[in-house]
Structure 1
Amino acid sequence: MDYMERYPEYKFAASQAQQFEWMRVLYPVLFERVKEKVKSGQFIPIGAAWSEFDANIPSGESLVRQFLLGQRFFEKHFGERSKVFWLPDTFGYSSQLPQLVKLAGAEYFFTQKLSWNSINKFPHTTFYWVGLDGSRVLTHMAPSETYNAQVTSGQLVDSVKNHKDIAYSNESLYLYGNGDGGGGPLEAMLERMRRVEDVDGLPRVKSAHPNEFYEHVKKTAKELVSWKGELYFELHRGTYTSQALTKKLNRQCEMLLRDVEMLSVVAQTVDPSFVYPAEELTRMWQQVCLNQFHDVIPGSSIEIVYKDSTAIYEEVVVSAVALKQQALSSLVASPADAARATGLAVVNTTAWPRTEVVAVPGLAQQAGSGGVQQMRKRDDVALVLATVPGCSVHAVDLSTQAAAVEQVAPVRVVREEDGSVVLQNAFVAARISADGRLTSFVDLQKQRELVPSGASGNVLELFDDLPIYWDAWDIEIYSQEKVRPVRGATITVVDEGPLVASIEVEVKVGKASSMRQWISLSASSARLDFDCDVDWHENRKCLKVAFTWDIYSDLATYETQFGVVQRPTHRNTTWDMAKFEVCGHKFADLSEYGYGVAVLNDCKYGYSALANTMTLTLLRAPKAPDANCDMGRHSFRYAVYPHAGTFSDSNVVQEAYHFNSALSHLPVDLSATNLAALSSFFALDNAPNVVLDSVKAAEDDSRDVVVRLYETYGGHARAVLSTSLDVVAAHATNILEEKDAELELQQAAQGQSVALSFRPFQIVTVRFSASPRK
């Protein structure tokens, strides 16, 4: 503020709504002074988001909330939205960001981090970035190649030399000040800035709002080039894996908050006394978005940060679990003690029907419920077979379990003479060798062996992990030359069906670590699950698991936010080679014509695929900046899922949701409850390539309901979205929930529906207006 008084030309930009919120709460007088400088144009709120987030790890809905919280804060407190998405220092950029930026009311994008690429120099400075769905945003990367410029003549000259698109636009942004660690511009920098405004031999310099720069470029630049798809950062690939607990808690919070919002929307409709917890949900999303800052969730912060962030995540989990339970209790009129339950209220928050085995802790076998399997020794739970329609609460009668189980082919366990064990159901047969490896995986319906002769899956590999510069940030390509397969496992049969069969694998990992793994197959799915418990005490090592398939493709498919991205399985060029470790979300898939296999996970993000071998990175052990990073116990899950057809013909996306969002359940007394009214509170028809991702109350009116959907496989679609909730109107909106075109409501079998059109990878948000309360 003092500099602004003494240097009227000085303009300062701050990019995170979270920081302004802290100032508003802790330093309200200073915040009011800042607001005055915002009005005068010297203090510039910028960025459009709650924090300068990591763009690799957060889910699509998390990115929506970053923009929703950020833009609403800027508009509420400063009377304006940010036109510039400002993200100088994150470690890669999702291909869905251009679409999200546009849907958030912004127009431009700024960064500079790709100048750090370790293999290929990024070829552009000012260009149009074209996203997964075809959305375009005007993008600029500071040719000074820093956000900590010091206002020196050398840096100013370099800004001209490094400008790769100067033939189309001879202007650039220059960010000066001490950024990392705070501090901002110093007085000496402001004095130098005055002196270099118009000096012979240097580019002309002036202080200006970033909007002015972008608007002038948009108006005057001719024939700017375009870059399609993700902006992959060729460095800091270790951030997909470091600080594993942080990533696990983030995924858990994302899935929990999804359930809480959807169930709370329905609960307030069913139960007039239920109040949608809008303020608490906003607070929890703010906390999650804070932890998605680009040095927290990637794992590149100091140790004390993770004590704070873990406490924040765990508090969100506790609060979200409590809110979910409140919503379920409002939906189910007669919850019962598990020991006296006659049935289960099973909740499916996905929009497609699911038949699954549900694990129910503490459920006693009642008379006549002999079909309930209680054999899972490590959990001591009962296993119940449930078939549940999409977006519904469904009653499962425990007294009919025996009959229900008889209708499905049981899963069997076969012990082989060589010590291996075969788990087999109606879909697949999986042979696990005596050392815990998957040596055969047969699709019984297609009579296809998926593991090539002499190869294996579930191969645990331990790498030396010694980056050149930055421990927590980097995984190097040369590390893959120093791999040691983990051997010496012992296996024990744990469960033998009829609903679930599983074996336990114990193996020593490295010098000081160990893993217990439960490999299981249920009667209801072709998916083979691997539940892992690791006691990890390595020093600069990396643990991966590899699967080699009898499938050949030049491309592997990885889930990204609201869609998928394909990357090469070869290293023909330096651009291909640079992607030896890539980011994916809930799955990666390798498919050829007619068949494919996906690797699923519940909290991992680092993948690689070379030829026909897919690898998932499980744990790292960097020693800086946190000397104790990831030391201790970890639990996580991964799975393999075979499917007929190419990826686009499969239901891999749906299966990945199943793996990450288990069916919720509540013990009930069926004689005292009626769940029929809770069937299909939302339904999605005619478009298997469209996913209903989230349902929430509108920000400015908790009676209105916001539904977000996206096209996930890369094709056009026409879908019918119906709801049994009492609604009177529907509108298409942006992600800020502002009404746009009105959608025609049609009568549906249960309630009302709207017809929606999708282009490939399009994100569509629908706002239903509720009937006034009587």
Structure 2
Amino acid sequence: MKKKIFYTFGNHMHWIDMEWMWGIGTLENSTKDMLKLVQKGLKGAINFDAIGYEYLAFKHPDTFERLKEAVRQGKIEIAAGTYTQPYPHLIDEESNVQQIIFGVRVCERLFGVRPKLFWEEEFYFFPQLPQLLLQAGYEVYCFFFQETWHTPSVPKFEEPTLFWEGADGSKIRALSFTDLCVHQWPEDLERTISKHVEKNEELFLIQWLELMDSPKWMCRSELIEKELERLRQIFEFQPIRPSEIVDLRKPERIVRFKSTDLYHGLSLGKNGDTLRIERRKIENTINDAQILASIAYVNGLSPQWSAYPDWEIEEARRLLMISQAHDIDECEGFCGDIGKVYLETAKSLATPIVERYMDMFSKNVDGTSQLCVFNPLPWKRKGYVRVEGTDQIVAVEDVPALGVFALDEQNGSCRIEAWETEEGIKVLWHGAQWTVQPNGIVRTESNGKVYELNELICEGYEVVPLSKPTLKRILPDLIDVRTSVKVGPYECRQSFRFGELNDYLEIETEIEVIEKPKPGYAGALMVRMDLKEELKELVYDYPFGVERGIPNLKHYRYYPKGDWMTSEKFFEDVVNHFASLRFVQLRCDDANMLFLHSGNQGFVRNGSELYAVLYLYDPWDGENFAKSVRTRYGIALNVECDPLRMAQEFNRPMIAKKAQGRVGSKSFQPFEIVGEIQLSAIYVEGNSLIVRIWNPKEEQIFASMEPKFDFVKVEEINLLGEVLEEVSTQITLKPMEIKTLRFHLPARVEKGLDEYRYVWSEYQKRE
């Protein structure tokens, strides 16, 4: 009697950059080739980006209808359906939410069903993902990622199913990564069959396909079918859809992972992370635009004809999401930097919204104050801000939480003293003496120990100073020190800003690549951090979460020796690599060091030392690698502050404009907030205000958000806007919980224009 083997597949392709090899018929070709397998009795899943489904339905409606019918008949199911298939651990919180929302809504609109299976080609993982997926109606997740240009590492299991428990305790059924997870090449399928043919148990074989009926591709239905015929001869062959596996083999084991238990397999630091840095800036601009427009909306204000700039914000968000697609990120140079083009367009839509709302508010706040200041974060803060339309930098203190406020600039509570010496520029800052040396290293003493910060490293090279440090005073309590050094193939011009209102040293670095570096991490430019004692733990963040631990994972990266498709590959070991979203903090018994960044997300631990990757050359980019980049990071020593809040402030600057109003309102603050919540988004939807908040702590917190506007009721909703329950403005957040609130607003009374119709009717009668 033959053993039973359950077989299923996922077929992947995407609209994003599909022309880089096969042209505009890519999605139709892949769909048709997949349907050939379906016609032969197979079942599986389709994994296109949701923007790809939109394109397929518009450009090739007949083929899309065939696909839709296969879904209706239960032969094919939709796998994932994010809008552009990003690397989620590298994008901010609200982008992760909107990628899911946009994707699910596209699938509902075009297919008439919601996707239940979440399975992406590339590394799609972070510990809060189960909570988001369950809130969007997903029921099954899959841990089987592909090795393409990236080389992810995922724990392997014997059993085909398990429960994945997220950081907040949410549990989603999952397909595990096993020996029976097979990549797209027929040779992989043949090797797997040979390995398992003698096993006396039911088998669940999952294959990932990227079907394309073209001689310019190596995964075609005709090749797969030959190996499947062999399966039919050896086994009792049973086709199923991927999500059916969790019903046939119900999960028992519960697994919980830290973000560092899996390796993303990416070249973080490539091209100075310029694309990731710019994406964050523009996402922040979009978020600022939403908050400002929402504050105006609930106050009955608007600088444009419409009450809220819906389409501009949505289009900017959509273009941002296109720039987040995995190939635009991973294959950045090969794809011709197209992501930066989409980013510029998104910026051109979002930036004017911020500018015109700030201009409107500046005319409505009390003109007896000097400044109109916008704080996008839900807590009081201080800092330095550039005044829009000028080169002026001002200091502001006691800026209330979340809103637009009339304030006066501060003269600086304490003058910073600085002077030149033979050793470098010495600075008295926060009660200690700091020395910026010609080699860019900053020396200081804290708690009786001497520390060296900002040591630039490139393996095999010494740091060579190119000039003496220079000193410039910006404000009495804000100074700037500049250095210039050469480190192997890199020339670095650095600006060190010491501000009395900042708890961190802000460092901006311009990197010129004067010759092609060694490939991979062997030739990377890094910043070394070392507290000179045993490392007890690292604290680092990921979307919607913070965790503690010491990353300990060995894997590899591979790169092409020549042409990406046809050349042989070479390998590089990667040891203790991990990613953080905004910060990493080193903690020892008697000291701590905090590294804040604007998008340089790659880190390497070597014993008790930590290295932040600023730049590396990735051979996948060929000759199209960045020659000049700019990055920004901050270093804080022995501070007892919330690192997540500091990282948010580092990445979300306040916005200021000269106050132009008459005596009037001092502030436009939508809520009186009490509690340590984090804010993901505020925006208007219909005639409701949507507010998404989250708890970064591992214990329950209580908060209140008392609106300063009229509202009818408050509901807690899921990500798709479905009501969970009616709630109050007194909020309980479970550990690591993400919660979305909908504030229903009173019906708006719009002033009619009928009385002005004569203006047009009379004008058009004129002869």
Same fold (TM over 0.5): yes
**Match of 2:503?**
526
Q: How does 1:392-407 map to 2 (within 5 A)?
A: 392-397=403-408, 401=409, 404-405=410-411
Determine helix, strand or coil for the equivalent of 1:771.
coil
Tell me the residue number matched to 1:280. Answer: 312
Specify which of 193, 196, 199 is matched with residue 157 of structure 1.
193
Cα displacement (A) at 1:45 = 2.5
Superposition deviation, residue 79 in structure 1: 1.5
Q: Answer whether contact 2:143 2:154 (CA < 8 A) is retained.
A: no
The answer to whether the 8 Å contact 1:411/1:497 transfers is no
Query: Which amino acid in structure 1 is aligned with residue 411 of structure 2?
Result: V
Q: Tell me, what secondary structure is at the counterpart of 1:284?
A: helix
Verify the 8 A CA contact 2:279 2:343 in the aligned structure 1: yes
CA deviation after TM superposition for structure 1 residue 564, in Å: 1.5
Find the counterpart in structure 2 of residue 358 from structure 1: 385
Number of the residue aligned with 2:93 = 60
Question: Can you list the C-alpha shifts for 1:42-68, whole angstroms capped at 9, x where unaligned?
Answer: 443321411322133111221111111
Structure 1 match to 2:673? 684
Match of 2:164 in 1: 129
Q: 1:44 aligns with which of 59, 77, 93?
A: 77
The change in CA–CA distance for 1:329 and 1:108 in structure 2 (over 3 A counts) is same
Deviations 1:249-302 (A, max 9, x none): 2111221111111111112222165432223322222222222222322x3344
Residues of 2 paired with 1:506 and 1:207: CA distance?
63
User: Structure 2 vs 1, CA of residues 501 and 158 (structure 1 numbering), >3 Å: closer, same or farther?
Assistant: farther
Match of 2:512 among 510, 514, 535: 535
- 2:525 and 2:480 mapped to 1: Cα distance? 23
Residues 519 and 341 (structure 1 numbering): CA distance in 2 closer, same or farther, change over 3 Å?
farther
Judged with a 3 Å threshold, the aligned counterparts in structure 2 of structure 1 residues 123 and 341 are, in CA distance, closer, same or farther, namely: same
- Amino acid in structure 1 at the alignment position of 2:165: V
Corresponding residue of 1:624: 620
CA RMSD in angstroms comes to 3.4
Give the alignment partner of residue 316 of structure 1, picking from 346, 350, 353.
346
Q: For residue 650 of structure 2, what is the aligned residue in structure 1? A: 659
Aligned to 1:475: none
Amino acid aligned to 1:322: P
Q: By how many angstroms is 1:170 displaced?
A: 4.3
Q: Structure 1: how far apart are the matches of 2:464 and 2:695? A: 40
Report how many aligned residue pairs link the two structures: 686
What does residue 297 of structure 2 align with?
268
Q: Residues 739 and 528 from structure 1, CA distance in 2 versus in 1: closer, same or farther, beyond 3 angstroms? A: same
**Amino acid across the alignment from 2:156:** F
Q: Does 1:256 align with 2:285?
A: yes
Contact 1:82–1:106, Cα closer than 8 Å, also in 2:
yes
In structure 1, the partner of 2:760 is: none
Aligned to 2:211: 178
Secondary structure of 2:167's aligned partner: coil
Partner of 1:765: 740
User: Contact 2:268–2:613 (CA<8 Å) still a contact in 1?
Assistant: no
Name the CA distance, whole Å, in 2 between partners of 1:706 and 1:176: 39
Residue 414 (structure 2) pairs with residue 409 (structure 1): yes
Matched, 1:732 2:716: yes
CA distance in 2 between counterparts of 1:483 and 1:215 reads 57
Answer yes or no: is the 8 Å Cα contact 2:480–2:497 preserved in 1.
yes
Q: Percent identity?
A: 17
SS across alignment from 2:326 = coil
Task: Letter of the 1:130 partner, please give it.
Answer: E
Alignment partners' CA distance in 2, 1:206 and 1:383: 69
Change (3 A) 1:146 1:562: same
Per the TM alignment, residue 517 of structure 1 is displaced from its structure 2 partner at its CA by 1.0
In the alignment, residue 101 of structure 1 is paired with which amino acid? Answer: L
**8 Å CA contact retained: 1:556, 1:588:** yes
Equivalent in 5, 20, 24 of residue 53 of structure 2: 20
Q: 2:392 aligns with which of 381, 386, 409?
A: 381
Query: Partner residue of 1:547?
Result: 529
Q: Separation in 2 of the partners of 1:327 and 1:552?
A: 50
The answer (yes or no) to whether the contact 1:114–1:122 under 8 Å persists in 2 is no
Task: Give 1:393 deviation, angstroms.
Answer: 1.0
Q: Against the structure 1 CA distance between its residues 267 and 516, is the aligned structure 2 distance closer, same or farther, given a 3 Å change threshold?
A: same
Displacement of 1:605 after TM fit? 0.4
- Please list, as runs of the form range in 1=range in 2, the aligned pairs for 1:571-586 lying within 5 A after superposition: 579-586=575-582
Deviations 1:420-479 (A, max 9, x none): 22223445542222332111154xxxxx25xx54x521111113xxxxxxxxxxxxxxxx
Letter in 1 for 2:550: P
Deviation per residue, 1:593-625 (Å, 9 max, x gap): 575321101121011334443321101123333
The answer to whether the Cα contact below 8 Å between 1:250 and 1:313 also exists between their aligned partners in 2 is: yes
CA contact (8 A) 1:555 1:566 kept: yes
Note the 1:98-497 alignment, pairs <5 A.
98-113=130-145, 122-123=156-157, 125-140=160-175, 141=177, 143-150=179-186, 154-155=190-191, 157=193, 160=196, 170-176=203-209, 178=211, 185-187=220-222, 189-190=224-225, 193=228, 195-196=229-230, 198-200=232-234, 202=235, 204-218=236-250, 221=251, 223-230=252-259, 232-234=261-263, 236-239=265-268, 241-242=270-271, 244-270=273-299, 271=301, 274-297=306-329, 299-303=330-334, 305-333=335-363, 343-360=370-387, 363=390, 381-397=392-408, 401=409, 404-405=410-411, 408-416=413-421, 418-426=422-430, 428-442=432-446, 448-449=447-448, 452-453=449-450, 456-463=452-459, 482=460, 484-485=462-463, 487=465, 490-495=468-473, 497=475
Say whether residues 1:636 and 2:636 are aligned partners.
no
The answer to whether 1:718 aligns with 2:711 is no
> Does the C-alpha gap of structure 1 residues 542 and 552 become closer, same or farther in structure 2, counting only changes over 3 Å?
same
- Once the two structures are TM-superposed, the CA of residue 503 in structure 1 deviates from its matched residue by 0.7
> Does structure 1 retain, via aligned residues, the 8 Å contact 2:672–2:707?
yes
Q: Secondary structure at the match of 1:113?
A: coil
Equivalent position SS for 2:576: coil
Aligned AA (2:480): S
Corresponding residue for residue 372 of structure 1: none
**Alpha-carbon displacement from aligned partner over 1:483-519 (angstroms, at most 9, x marks no partner):** 64455552011116413111111112324x4221110
Aligned to 2:761: none
Q: Is the 8 A contact 1:109 1:137 kept in 2?
A: yes
Classify the secondary structure of the residue corresponding to 1:238: coil
**1:351 touches 1:390 (CA, 8 Å); kept in 2?**
yes
**What is the aligned partner in structure 1 of residue 565 from structure 2?**
none
TM-score of the superposition, structure 1-length normalised?
A: 0.81
Q: Residues 536 and 587 of structure 2 are in contact (CA less than 8 Å); yes or no, is this contact kept in structure 1?
A: no
Is the 1:127–1:227 contact (alpha carbons within 8 Å) kept by the matching residues of 2? no
Q: 1:521 to 1:675 in 2, by over 3 A?
A: farther
Q: Matched residue of 1:14: which SS?
A: strand
Q: Give the residue type in structure 2 aligned to 1:51.
A: T
Q: Which amino acid aligns with 2:341?
A: A
Change (3 A) 1:151 1:673: farther
Contact 1:234/1:579 (<8 A) preserved: no
Which residue of 2 is the match for residue 469 of structure 1? none
What per-residue deviation string (whole Å, max 9, x for no partner) do you get for residues 570-613 of structure 1?
78999xx9652210111111224575321101121011334443
Answer whether contact 2:32 2:63 (CA < 8 A) is retained.
no
CA contact (8 A) 2:491 2:511 kept: yes
> Are the equivalent residues in 1 in contact too, given 2:83–2:100 (CA < 8 A)?
yes
SS in 2 for 1:199: helix
Question: After TM superposition, what 4+ stretches of structure 1 lie above 6 angstroms from structure 2?
Answer: 114-121, 179-184, 569-574
Larger deviation, residues 60-69 vs 491-500 = 491-500
Q: Report the Cα offset of residue 347 of structure 1.
A: 0.4
**Residues 306 and 268 (structure 1), Cα distance of their counterparts in 2 relative to 1, 3 Å cut:** farther
Length-normalised TM-score, structure 2: 0.81
Q: Deviations over 1:531-583 (max 9, x none)?
A: 11222233223111122225643220111111113331678999xx9652210
Is the CA contact (8 Å cut-off) linking 2:181 and 2:206 kept in structure 1? no
In structure 2, do the counterparts of structure 1 residues 27 and 159 end up closer, same or farther at CA, with 3 Å as the change threshold?
Answer: farther
46 and 673 in structure 1: CA distance in 2 versus 1, 3 angstrom threshold: farther
**Runs (5+) with no aligned partner, structure 1:** 364-379, 443-447, 464-481, 745-753
